[in-house]
Structure formats: C-alpha cells, structure tokens
Amino acid sequence: MVAGHLRERGGYYHIILSYTDENGKRKTPSKATGLPVKGNKKRAEALLQKARMEMEAELQQKLEEKEQRSEDKPSEMLFTIFLSDWLDMMQSSVEEVTHAAYSMTIKRRVIPYFDRMHPGLKLCDVKPKHIQDYYTYEMKHNGMSANTVIHRHANIRKALQYAYKTGLINSNPADCVQRPRKEKFQASFYNEKELEQLFKVVKGDPVEFAVTVAAFYGLRRSEVIGLKWDAIDFEHKTITIRHTVTQFTKDGKSVIVEKDRTKTKSSYRTLPLVPPFEELLLRMKAQQKMNRKLCGRSYCKKYLDYIYVNEIGELVKPGYLTQHFPNLLEKNNMRRIRFHDLRHSCASLLYANGVSLKEIQEWLGHSDISTTSNIYTHLDFSSKVSSANAIVNIFPENAKV
C-alpha cells in the first residue's frame, strides 16, 4: 500500500509518498505540485491521490516482473556467463579504476578457474563449497595471500548479491563461505640513516622529485604524479594536495586517469612548503622553462600545469615509479622496499621526532586515526619501553629495559 500526505514548502504544495519497494526497502520520495498553497488544497489532494494510484500500479508491475524473472528458469544461466554479464552491467555504476580491478579479478582468475574445474556450472547451482574450494585452491596452488582472498571474496559476493536482488537466485551462497583470517599488515620503512643515503643516491635521477616528496611529505604515488603548479603557494609557503593521477590496464592497454580530487576528503590537505623542497621546485620550474625553449614545437603542451614531467613535457607515468624505484635501489645495493613504503618511512620519522599519531594522521591524509594506528602500531614500541621503565623502578634491582 502507498501512503502519502501533502507538505507546504516555500508557499507551494509538495507530495510526500511512503511505501515499501519491490526489494523491501522503505521509500519516501517528494514531488513538487507547482500549486501555491493559497486556494489550491483540493487540487493538491487530487494530485496526491493520483500519485498514490500511479505508484501503486508501478509497484505492482515491478513485483510481477520480479516474479516472472524468478519463473524464467534462471538455472539455465551459467555462473561464468553471469559473471561476465555482471561486469558489463557494473561498467556504468563504478569508476573506471574500480571496474578495471573487478575485471582483472573476475576475467583473469575467477572465470578461468570455474570454466576449468566446474564446466557447465549453473548460477542457481553454485554452492558455498564451490566458492570455498576456489579460495583454498588459490591459496594452496598459487600462493595467494589471505588478504587477497578477502578482496576477491568481496567481488564474488557483490556479484552474487546482485543475482539475489534481481531474483536470479534465492540466496547468496557467498554469505555462507568462511573467509580466511585477515593478515596483519606490517609496514616496511627506511630509518633516518637509510633515507639520508637514499637522498644522495637519487640526486639527479628522474625519480629524485618523487622520492623527495614521498619521503618528506608522505604523499601517495597518485598524489606525487598529480601535483600541479597551482598547488604550490610560493608566497605563503604552502603545498596543497588536491589532484591525483592514476594508471590502470583496460583491455590490455594502459589508461591514465586525471582527477581534480583526492582519494578521500581527508586526503585533501595543505602542508608547509619547506626551504629544501621549495629550492627543488624552483630548479624544476627553471629547467622546464629551458626544456620548453629547447624543444620548441616538439615540447608536449598537454601537461603544462603539472610539476612532474620529463624533458619533452610528457607526464611521468605512475608505472614508471613502480618499475624504476626498485631498480635504483638494487643498483646502489640498498635494501629493497616499495615506493609506497616511503610514505611509511615518513610516518616513522615523524613519530621518532615526537609527532603524535593524530598529527601523523592529518599529515598523511588518513580519514580515520584507526587506519594510522593499525598501520603504524610498531611505532608505539618506544612509548611501551618508557612505560616499562617507569614500572620497573619499583623493583629492588631497578633494572632498565
């Protein structure tokens, strides 16, 4: 049943409906009548009655269509065919990067497994054990981590939940699957001495700028590549993180995505522009001006707003950092870490110099302090030692930890 009432807003009547849709969700949409309140109550009530009847008819039609879908022998649809269809449907519902991640997981790993191990498996015949066996296979034969399995489970469950909501299956088998225990993430990082060596090693290298920014400001790779000149305020000595550049593979081709926004609202942040970094930026600005003059028409004009470009003005790609950075470390006999670990190194250095986890959260742009504390729990050890020493003082020997 569709209920409803009139509401006065801004001197006009608005229709407010209240009903439960075909999926069992409560809805209370509002619709303007265009009728002024004065002298139009009966006309507004007539429109309300009409709107209720139309919604009743629409809901009845949707329920009948849902019941029809349930009777259309969904068992004839193969599980792997459904997964492909779901991917096509999701393309217009999520961002390109997210869809690319879904595709890589479903097309490259999930579908090939079920085609090989369970050929002809129908969607309605998928049982929790089929999914559980897949996770066990990936972990046992392909060495997949528990955390990766958890991410993969999220994709499969999301797809099957869509099948459940649209009446293709009566329940979601993924809900009955036992996920592996999440592995605790242990961040790798360079200490102060290693960072000093790294800064010497990268001097004059194409990744000098990226390493400097990531290690000092703790920027993500997408934030480093996405830095623009308008983010630098040389007058007020600030740097604002508000633009990102990401890279992903779609249909075998590399795709670059530029966004005028950060990963989260908290990632949008303004940090102080310190003298060493300001000097580096000024050198880069002068070098780019000279390169543009030397290259003439051959200089790429597409990325003039960006800071991190090569000699001919092309944007440095995120993938380049990921590939070149470990090669640089190996060449100079330095301990191997990921480029993203420079962000962890920044946090470690901040904490070692007395910066609180709350301040580190704001510096790195984490949306929740629990994210910061979960990643950097190892940083708390020094404070635990201090606590231990405070307690041990009551013992006769007064032995320090």
d(CA 374, CA 58): 49
- Give the global pTM: 0.66
CA 40 remoteness from chain centre: 50
Q: Please state, rounded to an integer, the average pLDDT across all residues of the chain.
A: 86
d(CA 337, CA 326): 7
CB-based contact 398:377 (threshold 8 Å): no
Better pLDDT: 70 or 35: 35
pLDDT at residue 389 greater than cutoff 80:
no
Single out the residue of 88, 93, 98, 90 nearest to residue 259, CA to CA.
98
pLDDT at residue 290 greater than cutoff 80:
yes
Beta strands across the sheet bearing 238-241: 232-233, 238-241, 269-272
The residue-averaged pLDDT of 155-181 equals 92
pLDDT, one tens digit per residue, over 171-216 is: 999 999 998 888 776 668 888 899 999 999 999 899 999 999 999 9
Confidence (pLDDT) at 399: 46
pLDDT at residue 32 greater than cutoff 80:
yes
> Which segments of 202-303 does DSSP mark as H helices, in order?
208-217, 221-226, 275-295
pLDDT at residue 68 greater than cutoff 60:
yes
Better pLDDT: 152 or 256: 152
Find the radius of gyration of the CA atoms of the chain.
Answer: 29
User: Which segment of 193-197, 202-206, 245-249, 300-304 scores lowest on mean pLDDT?
Assistant: 245-249
The residue-averaged pLDDT of 119-124 equals 94
Maximal C-alpha separation, the chain: 92
Single out the residue of 212, 207, 211, 210 nearest to residue 226, CA to CA.
210
Confidence (pLDDT) at 377: 53
CB-based contact 83:152 (threshold 8 Å): no
